[in-house]
Amino acid sequence: MKKFFIFVFHAIFLAGFSISAVPVSASEPIKIGILGPFTGSLAFNASEMRKGMELALDGVNSKGGLFGRQVELVFGDTEAKPDKGLAAVKKLVTRDNVLVVGGGYASSVNIATSEFCHYEGCPNVVAIAISPTITARGYDFVFRTSPNSPQFLEGVNEWLEKIKRPKTVAFFMENSDYGRDGQKIWEAQCKKLGAKVLGSFYFEIGSSDFTAPISKLKDLKPDVVFSIASTTEAALIQRQAKELNFVSQWIGVGGQFTEAFFEMTGPVSEYAMGSSLEPTKAMKDPITAAFVNAYKAKFPESRPGIFSSQGYDNLMVIVDAIKRAGEPTGNLVADRKKIRDALKVTDIRLSQGLIQFDETGQVFTVFPSPVQVQLDENCKPDTQIIFPPERAASEYQVPKPWAERRCK
């Protein structure tokens, strides 16, 4: 009897699924799947990515869409968990029958989802997720419109070599693949520069109290502290460094310099550096400027940062490829293959710069730059590109001791 009820239960739920399936009609929209951690702790940044995509979508659909058909985004929430991500991508690819899967974010999720897409023959254009593994497995259908972690980290290497030339360094990384890979890459660079590594510390993501390792760092007195952390931890680290009266040149990565970061740190974040893509500071480039202005017009409350521009570029690349591949015939396998071929020869200028893919599907023409947080006359912080001179709007400032700072 019990089992009978279980069966009925099943039946109701399964029925619920079929009812909720979107019916297919004649002039169907062109469907693109987008993955992202839209709920959970990364949701805020994921929504920034989404806003960038919506801007792109508006631009495309207002001009009549593609081949006279509207483009539709189908979102899949990965919750930043690999098994949920797999369920989401399976739904997008096998049930919603999207032509391409875009979006991304969390590396561990995307390693799994991109593999699935490849075996299904569905092009996966990944945004934001930086682990090199994603494009390093020889998966033909997998592309990435964002720089991978080595490319990000190398963004500061030239500056380190030419301008800063530190004698002593330390590492203070989050306990993730990003942090660990980061240490390897930067340690190699330090060896080249002859800089001595005084110490390495790792912290658990989600920690709040860093006073112990910062006290240690204070003791070691390195010229540079490499620190890869995400927004919350990075902000707490900066604040606690101030509390402990510790000054050094902090070098991290762009993902931490979000609105939330500046809200949490205010002027305390002055001098912190990172390797980033900052569209608002690359306004010398007309396409970037156009993106920034359009974004601000559509989302006046929001700041067009690294996540929104990557989202924008990601969707634009997908749309461009579909356009070049020709109108989808309805034969999903063939259509996806054509789009994959079109993606391979992508050559388009977008908000991050030129997008071209190498043989592994990794974009190699986008160059993150070293940025530094600098304060304006009102003590408001913002990131400025400080190198190379052709792109820089500002110059490097050496961190001053806390007591001497203008803005407290």
Site for other proteins in 152-191 (CB under 8 A): 175-177, 180
- Joined together, the tokens standing for residue 140 give 């033909």
What is the per-residue burial (b if ≥16 Cβ within 10 Å, else e) of 356-375?
A: ebeebbbbeebbbbbbbbbb
Rounded-to-integer distance, Cα 291 and Cα 268, Å: 30
Report the residue number, 53 or 342, with the smaller CB distance to other proteins.
53
The contact pattern for other proteins, residues 355-394, with x = CB under 8 A and - = no contact, is: ----------------------------------------
Q: Does 401 bind other proteins (CB under 8 A)?
A: no
x/- track of binding to other proteins for residues 236-265 (CB under 8 A): x--x--xxxx--------------x--xx-
Tokens of 16: 């619920």
**Interface with other proteins: number of residues (CB under 8 A):** 75
Question: In whole angstroms, what is the distance from residue 188 CA to residue 368 CA?
Answer: 19
**CB-based contacts of 38, cutoff 8 Å, min separation 6:** 46, 47, 50, 75, 77, 78
Q: Which of 188, 212, 334, 345 touches other proteins by CB under 8 A?
A: 212
CA-CA distance, 264 to 255, in Å (whole number)?
A: 15
User: Residue 150 or 388: which CB sits closer to other proteins?
Assistant: 150
Strands across the sheet with 100-103, in order? 71-77, 30-36, 100-103, 124-126, 142-144
Q: How far is the CB of 39 from other proteins (least distance, A)?
A: 4
Rg over CA atoms, the chain: 23
Residue 139 within binding range of other proteins, rule CB under 8 A? no
CA within 13 Å, CB half, 170: 22
Of the residues 70, 207, 302, 397, which one makes contact with other proteins according to CB under 8 A: 207
Among positions 42-71, residues that touch other proteins (CB under 8 A) are 42-44
β-pair partners for 104: 127
* Of the candidate residues 161, 162, 191, 209, the single one contacting other proteins (CB under 8 A): 209
Q: Which of 36, 52, 147, 213 binds other proteins (CB under 8 A)?
A: 213
Q: Check binding of 397 to other proteins (CB under 8 A).
A: no
User: In the 3-class helix/strand/coil scheme, how is 50-70 assigned residue by residue?
Assistant: HHHHHHHHHHHHHCCCECCEC
The DSSP bridge pattern shows strands 369-375 and 381-385 to be antiparallel
Indicate whether 1 belongs to the interface with other proteins (CB under 8 A).
yes
Position among 32, 49, 133, 360 found at the interface with other proteins (CB under 8 A): 133
What is the per-residue binding string for other proteins in 96-125, x denoting contact by CB under 8 A?
A: -----------xx--xx--x---x------
Q: Cβ closer to other proteins: 22 or 345? A: 22
Q: How far apart are CB 291 and other proteins at their closest, in Å?
A: 23
